[in-house]
Structures are given as C-alpha cells and as structure tokens.
Amino acid sequence: MSKNILIIGGGISGLCSAYFLQKEGHQVTVIDASDITSGASFVNAGFITPSHIIPLASPGMIATGIKMMFNSASPFYMKPRWDIDFFKWAWSFHKSSTAKKVEKAIPVIKDINIISRELFQDIKSSGDLGEFQLERKGLLMLYQSAEAYEKERKVAKRAADLGLEVSELDKSGLSKIEPNVQIDAKGAINYECDGHTTPTQIMPKLVSFLKSVGVEIRTKETVQDLEILGTKISHVRTNKFSYEPDELVMAAGAWSGLVAKKMGIKLLMQGGKGYRINVERSTGIGMPAILMEAKMAVTPMVGFTRFAGTMEFSGNNSLVRKERVRAIANGAQKFYPDLKISQEETASATTGLRPVTPDGLPYIGRSSKVDNVVFATGHAMMGWSLGPATGKLVSEIIDGKKTAMKIGAFSPDRKF
C-alpha cells in the first residue's frame, strides 16, 4: 500500500531512502535545511569501504582525543567546551571503546558495507542516474613506519579472515600500481575489496532523478515543531509548510539529535567535522589511499584529486580552521613529495559534519517510543559508503519486509 513519506534530510542517506521508497510506489517528500549542494555528502572522500571494519569508538581513542585536545591542528580534535550533551556522548564513547565491543561490531560493519557496495553497482547498472564514476581499484593504506604497518597488518588479517580481498605491496609493487607519482612510503596494504566515486557527481544526478520520478525535494526548509498524537507523529511543521506523513524518515545527519528531541527521543550524537581540499590539476595519483601517519584520505575523482581528513568535535558549525587545512596539505606533501598544494587550493577548502554515535555504528530502524519514525543517521565516517544500504533497509522496514541483514545493532534505542 502506497504511503505518504516525509524524509528529513537530503544527504546521501535521505536521498537513497527516497530512491528505494519511490521504487516501492510510495509518495515521497524530502526536506533539507540547505540547498543540497554542500555538507558531508559533498565533501567526503567518496570511498566505498568494506575494509573499514573498525569503528571510530575503539580502545585508546578517548585518550588520544584528550592528548590532542589543545592542538587544533591534530587529526583527532575535541575542542574544550562546556556542553552537557557532549559530555554524555563522550562518556558513552569511552564506554563503547572496548576490544569486546569492537569485535562485536566488526562483522556488522563488514556486512552492511558489502550490501551497500553491491547496491552502488545496482544503481549504476539500472541507468537511473546516467553515467557516473564507480571504480573498484582498491584502497591503499600507505605507511612510512614499521609501527603503522604492524597496526594495519592486524586489521588486514582480520579483514582477510572475514573474506575480504587484501594484498600487500612493497616499495617496488607500489611504484608499479602508481607509476605516475612519486610516493614516499615503505609500502602499502591494498584493500582490493574497496571502491571509490565522485560524490559531487552523484549527488546532483540523484536529486535530478528523484525529481523526474515524482519525489518532491524542498530545500531551505527547517523543522520547527512536531505534533505527536498517541504514539505517532501526526504533523511536522517547518518554516514553510505543514505535513501529515504516514511515515517519517529521520536522516538529518549531525542535526538528527536536535530533531529527535522534539519527539522526546534522546539520540546521543555529535557532529564530527571533516575537511577537504580539491586539486583541479593533474597530480599523477591514480589510486585512492589513506596516508596512515597523516591520518587523511586521497581520492582521484572526476576532474580533480581530493585530499580529505580530520575528525573535529567543536559543535555543529561550518567554521574552517586554517591550521587544520594546512595540516592536510602538509600531510599530502609528506607522502607525495613532488606535490605542492597551493595557497589558492587551501583557501577553497570546505567542511562537512559527519553524525557520530558513541559506538561508531549508525542508527537505522525504529524507536519503541514513536511508531511511525525510521531513523537513518549516525554513520560517522562511513556515511557515503553506507548510503545505499541504509536507504534499502529503510524501505524494507517501512514495507514490513525481511531486512537484508539483522539490524538490532543499529537500534536507536540501544544502550551504551
């Protein structure tokens, strides 16, 4: 039966939810506070990453954050501030950062990434969006030290044990796979299971397709009030309209927690700011990579090479810290010594806020507190990678179908 569905949030998760819901015959409206041309879905590294099996909440991360707290150029930065919600989130993050919980999360993260990788291919094969970059060359974990190699080697072994394709490259092998650029690295672990895309190419195509099939997409629209009748959302009032949805999909990214409060649900989440620099000239870089010691990502996209990274917890703002941008440029040059990112290129850097949960797993599913709301948020650094899988799961939940995987680990009601 066709339902009237309102999706709050026009990022990759919201748009993919709309994509799969409209295919099931539902009437879908997407609202977003922005004009859907910026934010995390546009500035991310474009990775499709079954290899990213370790959640952000892992042993030692809080200690690392505290150690780096007073260095605003550090890769993992938590700005000192008095914020009760941040304190609650940080304490829950600390409690989630145990070896036992990480081990429990690993197969779940792997499974949803595999589902999403195949759905990216299905979307491309359908022709709905026309042509777009979707390559599966792998992902190089470039290392300069024995310590970094040993750390990643353990992850690679775990990934291989789960059936993911992994190989190792020495300096000679690295030069063969990347013949057109000098790389200062001892070697790399290549996650052949991974792929990459150009988000700024896919997002407009997705918006255009959805509009063409009758999905209403309304921008510059913010939620002001929610009316609950019994155990259901009966009205959603924005600065422009009033809606009476049969189902509501919460995909507002880092702002999802603020909207959830309006329905009496405490959704622990913080915005983790990431930065990107686009270099719109030939760099010779042909393989996507993570520069391990610099803790940043490099992606050859359509028309430019993207350098992205950092995780900054400083509140939901779009402030660009120049020292953090410079750190990305410096990190790139340490690994690619012939590459110099110019002042003009760093000046064009921008940011996006990734929604980060305390345990690094997304919120996908219903809460016991409200019957007609499905959450699709909290993906941290894997939002782009998990967009299609999230959208598919949302459509299955709303249609009452058996989901493509068990989703208990993603429950918005889970305790930390």
Instruction: Give SS3 for 261.
Output: helix
Residue 81 has pLDDT above 90, yes or no: no
User: Per-residue pLDDT tens for 10-22?
Assistant: 999 999 999 999 9
133 inside domain: yes
Cα 347 from Cα 293, distance rounded (Å): 24
User: Per-residue pLDDT tens for 135-160?
Assistant: 999 999 999 999 999 999 999 999 99
135 inside domain: yes
* pLDDT for position 71: 67
Cα 309 from Cα 274, distance rounded (Å): 6
416 inside domain: no
147 inside domain: yes
Residue at 114: amino acid letter: I
Residue 300 has pLDDT above 70, yes or no: yes
Domain count, the chain: 1
The residue with greater pLDDT, 58 or 70, is 58
Question: Rounded to two decimals, what is the model's pTM?
Answer: 0.95
Residue 63 has pLDDT above 80, yes or no: no
Q: Alpha carbon of 10 to those of 206, 251, 319, 379: distances in Å?
A: 10, 7, 21, 15
311: CATH: 3.50.50.60
The number of beta carbons lying within 10 Å of the beta carbon of residue 366 is 18
Cα 270 from Cα 313, distance rounded (Å): 7
Which of 377, 373, 401, 370 is closest to 391 using CA atoms?
Answer: 377
User: Per-residue pLDDT tens for 316-346?
Assistant: 888 888 999 999 999 999 999 999 999 999 9
364 inside domain: yes
415 inside domain: no
User: Per-residue pLDDT tens for 264-292?
Assistant: 999 999 999 999 999 999 999 999 999 99
31 inside domain: yes
Q: Alpha carbon of 148 to those of 28, 155, 294, 355: distances in Å?
A: 46, 11, 11, 27
Torsion of CA 380, 317, 43, 345, to 10 degrees: -140
108 inside domain: yes
The domain in which residue 323 lies consists of: 4-410
Cα 358 from Cα 415, distance rounded (Å): 10
* pLDDT for position 69: 60
